[in-house]
A and B are shown apart, each in its own frame.
Chain A
Amino acid sequence: MSDQASDSLSSSPKKNSLAELIKKTALKKIGPEDTVLVWPNLVYLELICMMVATAILLFLSLVSPAPLEELASADTTPNPTKAPWYFLGLQELLVYFDPWLAGMVLPTFIIIGLILIPYVDPNPLGKGYYTFKERKFSMLGFGFGLSLWWILILIGVFFRGLDWSWYWPWDDPHVHMPAGAVKLIDLQIILQNTLGLSEAPLVTLGRYAVTIGNLITWALFLGFYAVGFTVPFIFFRDFYRRLGFVRYNVMMFFFISMMGVPMKIFLRLLADVKYVLVTPWFKF
């Protein structure tokens, strides 16, 4: 790049616009003594890594045949039918959530949430070097989400057998688990039965019959988000101030939604809750 072009770039007020969106995090001055060259320092290492990875893949493809089965037939569908391993986390989520949520909404949230991370992160530390102590919240939050994802994949690969039932390694994988061992019930029905609430709808909006139990589940669902938004705002005010109104709400929405996933999983596992909230349009 010519000096003239370089000067016009450096004098442009928009040169760090993305970074400056985040208050107090304008790019630090980094002198030549703090940096290394892309070539040869980085690219040479990348070339070596690429060659080693290619050699490993070639070796694996020679010694380990692809696990292809016979031609597919509608008469003999496999039980269970498993997705490729990297999709098994999603397939496992289908056990706990409505297909629309597990297959569409949650993956979309994950992707959008990951895209938004650099825009909601107010912490300028940790650029270009490894650190945990300076980025505890980010590392713990991201680590938790990643752990959950890996556990779901692990379960799908190693612990799901016939009829998508859970099989420990010591269970016989050829024997079906007892049918009907798990009877799932919607939370509003559990509340109706436990609290002796009326099943008669208070209001009927088209095909949506609103019962008292249904209203309580709405209150619990919205209350979960309300508490999630409010508690850090009250007890960690500095955290809120550093983020600002918009970034705080965006970040907390995705964080609370992420925390809701394992909570729903535990409700399903331990209390046989099928759906926390049931409407004609979506079930959560």
Chain B
Amino acid sequence: MDDIWAYPYRLGIGLFFVVGTIVFMGAFIGTSLWLEKAFKEDKTKK
């Protein structure tokens, strides 16, 4: 188990995928929540 971080970097790449997805999703959802809040009083909203 010493070489779990060695090439071909299986664990590292797997973690990269998971963390990357969480970061991107956080950014997207965070932006949409922020926009929802920022435009809450928008007159075009039904």
Chain A contact residues, CB within 8 Å of chain B? 28, 30, 33-36, 127-133, 139-140, 143-144, 146-148, 150-151, 154-155, 159, 165-166, 168, 177-178, 181-182, 262, 265-266, 269-270
Contacts of A262 in B (CB 8 A): 17, 21
Given contacts A166-B8, A168-B12, A270-B10, contact A151 B44 (CB under 8 A): no
Q: Check if B44 sits within 8 Å of A36, measured CB to CB.
A: yes
A-B contact pairs, 22 of them (CB 8 A): A34-B44, A129-B44, A130-B36, A131-B32, A131-B36, A132-B32, A132-B36, A133-B36, A144-B21, A147-B20, A147-B21, A151-B17, A151-B20, A154-B20, A155-B16, A159-B16, A165-B8, A262-B21, A265-B17, A266-B14, A269-B17, A270-B10
**A147 adjacent to B45 (CB under 8 Å):** no
Once the chains are docked, how many angstroms separate the CA of A176 from the CA of B21?
29
Contact between B36 and A269, CB atoms less than 8 A apart:
no
Give CA–CA (A151, B24) in the complex, Å: 8
* In the complex, per-residue mask of B13-46: 1 if CB is within 8 Å of any chain A CB, else 0: 1101100110011001100110110110011111
Q: In the complex, what residues of A have CB within 8 A of residue B43's CB?
A: 33-34, 36
Chain B interfacial residues counted at CB < 8 A = 26
- Most chain-A CB neighbours within 10 Å: which of B8, B29, B35, B39? B8
A-B residue pair count with CB separations less than 8 angstroms: 83
Closest residue on chain B to residue A181 by CB atoms: B8
Known: A139-B32, A147-B25, A151-B24. A269 touches B10 (CB 8 A): yes
Kindly list chain A residues whose C-beta atoms are within 8 Å of the C-beta of B14.
Answer: 266, 269-270
Alpha-carbon gap, A177 to B13, bound state (A): 15
Q: Would A147 and B28 count as touching, CB distance under 8 A? A: yes
Q: Which residue of A lies closest to B35 (CB)?
A: A130
